[in-house]
Amino acid sequence: MNALILSAVFGMIMMFCSFLVRNRGSLRHIASVGLLILLIANIADSYTHTLFIINTYGMLAFSRFGYLFNSIAIGSTLIYVLITGKEIEKYGRYTAEYFTLIFFVLCGISMLSSYNNLLTLFLGIEIMSIPLYILTGSDKRNMKSNEAALKYFLMGSFSTGLMLMGIALTYGGTGTFSLEVTRGGVMPVYLNVASFLEIFGLLFLMVSMAFKVSAAPFHFWTPDVYDGAPSVFTSFMSTIVKAAGFIALIKLFDVRMQATEKAIDWNLLMSIIIVATLLVGNVTAVFQQSVKRMLAYSSIAQAGFMLFSLMSLNDTAHEGIIFYAAAYSIATIGIFAVLVKMKDYTFEGYNGLAKTQPVLAATNTIFLLSLAGIPLTAGFFAKYLMLAALIKTGTYLWLVVVGVLFAAVSVYYYFRVIQAMYFKEGNPETEIITHSFKWGLIFIAAIVILLGIFPTSILNWLYF
């Protein structure tokens, strides 16, 4: 509850700061402090130090899983603001408003991590999405950014429509918005009309969520939006927000899908989506010329991997999705931090970076290795847990093999960046790189490596 309320409060505070604080640099510091307080409050919450005791009438249910994800989302945002926050100031004079929007996104995320009712799910998704549409178009003078914002908004509205339709149908089928359907204590019979509605409702819900997490074949907005949005916001959207989509989805699957699995083979459906997502994401990423677009497609590919957790839904899957969210977010924030400092986003733009900016190149390499899932980095354990979760179920082993083959494909495009930085000659143009920025990158790289060597200590700490 702390995170939910406080993020909204800090959003409001930032809004007031827009006319109270003259120095734009200090806005970033205020936001960082806010995020830090938010993080502490959330951790305190998980130790039952709740500041706000409000009866939510079962609309929200707070769990360890949710707190854990909140911590990761808020922590990642904090790192994101510390490293790339300065870049936000470049887009017009509405810096405070952008931070406001980020806080509101976090508010949506904390709702998604604890929703217990389809209406709160809808609210959470919308609270999270609407600020993002605005952030996408924040570079007002850039046509690409405007186009991306419009595209995102239209697609988002479309998926919202689907979601509402899904919720309505589910309500029709079960007579309740609550996530946990008791069905009057009787085992449901899945051949009557009501259940038919429920299944269709869930299908609609799944499609709309697939839009949000950009799973194929509902991914087509992703590359254009990620490419068009200012890089600094793409970083936020493609990491923390995306992970939140998965958390919402896994909660839905946990309860509703399992309850209806006798009527419909969700796993088969999911396996088709996974293969399509891995295929589209990985294969298209191979052909990209711009690193930013490559990262957009790679985020689709990574989503394919995260979807493994939805098929297995066991302990390992729950641990895995949390760990994946952390590993993926942190590494991607790092990669984008380097990207926003580059003047040329093409692969050629990175040629020879190791010579001119050794720290940037070295840390970027660590992040890329992590995304590729190489041992000694967090990404390895993220992928490991995803594969382990599915293997544990003992079914769909072919899917695991498909997954690892695509992971090998992903090496191609991630390593293209490493090749450009280390093995090719060139004079990459970068913006001014401060020492504190370099230290920031080293800090993120250290987290990636620590999570890769001692994941236990981190996981144990997270699990209290």
Partner 1 sequence: MIALLLILIPLISGLITFFTKSERDAKSLSLFASILTLAVSFAGVYSLFGAAQNAYDTTWLSFIGARFSIGLDGMSKMLCLLTGIAFPIVFGAVYGNTYKKSNSFYALMLLMQAGLMGVFLATDCLLFYFFWEIVLIPAYFLCSIWGGEKRITVTFKFFVYTFVGSLLMLVGILYMYFKNPEHSFALQSFYHIRLSATDENFVFCLFFIAFAIKMPVFPFHTWQPDTYEQAPTAVTMILSGVMVKMGLFGVIRWVLPVMPNATAHFSQLIIILSVIGMLYASLIAIRQDDLKRLIAYSSIAHIGLMCAAIFSNQQIGMQGVMIQMFNHGINVIGLWIVADAIETQLGTRKFSELGGLAQKAPALAILLVVMALANIALPLTNAFVGEFMMFNGLFRYNIWVAVIGGISIILAAVYTLNMIQKTFYGNTSIVTDGAMEISTGTKIMLVILVVVVIILGVYPEPMLQLTNDAVQTALATVK
Interatomic CA distance for residues 301 and 279, integer angstroms: 8
Q: Please, what is the minimum distance in Å from the beta carbon of residue 222 to partner 1?
A: 25
Q: Please, what is the minimum distance in Å from the beta carbon of residue 408 to partner 1?
A: 4
| Stretch binding partner 1 (CB under 8 A), from 75-83, 92-100, 113-121, 397-405 | 397-405
Interatomic CA distance for residues 386 and 311, integer angstroms: 10
By CB under 8 A, tell whether 283 contacts partner 1.
no
Q: Please, what is the minimum distance in Å from the beta carbon of residue 356 to partner 1?
A: 14
Please name the amino acid found at residue 165: M
Q: Please, what is the minimum distance in Å from the beta carbon of residue 161 to partner 1?
A: 40
| Stretch binding partner 1 (CB under 8 A), from 20-28, 198-206, 340-348, 404-412 | 404-412
By CB under 8 A, tell whether 384 contacts partner 1.
yes
- CA-nearest of 209, 345, 327, 325 to 277 is 209
Interface residue with partner 1 among 26, 63, 157, 419 (CB under 8 A) is: 419
Indicate the residue among 17 and 386 with the shorter CB distance to partner 1. 386
Sign of the Cα torsion 218, 160, 298, 370 reads negative
By CB under 8 A, tell whether 37 contacts partner 1.
no
Q: Please, what is the minimum distance in Å from the beta carbon of residue 72 to partner 1?
A: 17
Give every CB contact of residue 304 below 8 A, 6+ residues apart in sequence: 215, 216, 274, 277, 278, 281, 282, 403, 406
Interatomic CA distance for residues 204 and 245, integer angstroms: 15
By CB under 8 A, tell whether 455 contacts partner 1.
yes
By CB under 8 A, tell whether 387 contacts partner 1.
yes
Q: Please, what is the minimum distance in Å from the beta carbon of residue 354 to partner 1?
A: 9
Q: Please, what is the minimum distance in Å from the beta carbon of residue 375 to partner 1?
A: 4
Question: Around Cβ 394, how many Cβ atoms within 10 Å?
Answer: 7
By CB under 8 A, tell whether 167 contacts partner 1.
no
Whole-number CA gyration radius for the chain: 21
Tokens of 286: 């191979």
By CB under 8 A, tell whether 320 contacts partner 1.
no
Interatomic CA distance for residues 173 and 51, integer angstroms: 37
Indicate the residue among 21 and 458 with the shorter CB distance to partner 1. 458
By CB under 8 A, tell whether 369 contacts partner 1.
yes
By CB under 8 A, tell whether 411 contacts partner 1.
yes
Give every CB contact of residue 84 below 8 A, 6+ residues apart in sequence: 232, 235, 333, 336, 337, 340
Burial of 107 (0-12, 13-18, 19+ CB in 10 A): buried
Interface residue with partner 1 among 147, 415, 426, 430 (CB under 8 A) is: 415
- Express the helix, strand and coil content of the chain in percent, nearest 5 each: 75, 0, 20
Indicate the residue among 185 and 394 with the shorter CB distance to partner 1. 394
By CB under 8 A, tell whether 404 contacts partner 1.
yes
Indicate the residue among 10 and 347 with the shorter CB distance to partner 1. 347
Contact present, 407 and 383 (Cβ < 8 Å): yes
Letter string b/e over residues 278-300, b meaning 16 or more CB atoms within 10 A of that residue's CB: bbbbbebbeebebbbbbbbbbbb
Interface residue with partner 1 among 423, 439, 442, 446 (CB under 8 A) is: 423
φ, ψ dihedrals at 117, nearest 5°: -150, 145
| Stretch binding partner 1 (CB under 8 A), from 54-62, 81-89, 91-99, 376-384 | 376-384
By CB under 8 A, tell whether 422 contacts partner 1.
yes
Q: Please, what is the minimum distance in Å from the beta carbon of residue 379 to partner 1?
A: 12
Q: Please, what is the minimum distance in Å from the beta carbon of residue 413 to partner 1?
A: 11
Contact present, 102 and 84 (Cβ < 8 Å): no
Interface residue with partner 1 among 17, 181, 388, 451 (CB under 8 A) is: 388
Q: Which residues pair with 290 in a beta bridge?
A: 346
How many residues interact with partner 1 (rule CB under 8 A)?
Answer: 30
433: left (phi over 0), alpha (psi -120 to 50) or beta: beta
Interface residue with partner 1 among 12, 154, 376, 446 (CB under 8 A) is: 376
Q: What angle do CA 451, 452, 456 make, to 5 degrees?
A: 60
| Stretch binding partner 1 (CB under 8 A), from 148-156, 301-309, 331-339, 389-397 | 389-397
Interatomic CA distance for residues 404 and 310, integer angstroms: 17
Interatomic CA distance for residues 370 and 414, integer angstroms: 10
By CB under 8 A, tell whether 374 contacts partner 1.
yes
Indicate the residue among 434 and 460 with the shorter CB distance to partner 1. 460
Indicate the residue among 138 and 271 with the shorter CB distance to partner 1. 271
Interatomic CA distance for residues 83 and 226, integer angstroms: 19
Interface residue with partner 1 among 194, 391, 433, 449 (CB under 8 A) is: 391
Residues that bind partner 1 (CB under 8 A): 319, 369, 374-376, 380, 384, 387-388, 391-392, 394, 397, 400-401, 404-405, 407-408, 411-412, 415, 419, 422-424, 455-456, 459-460
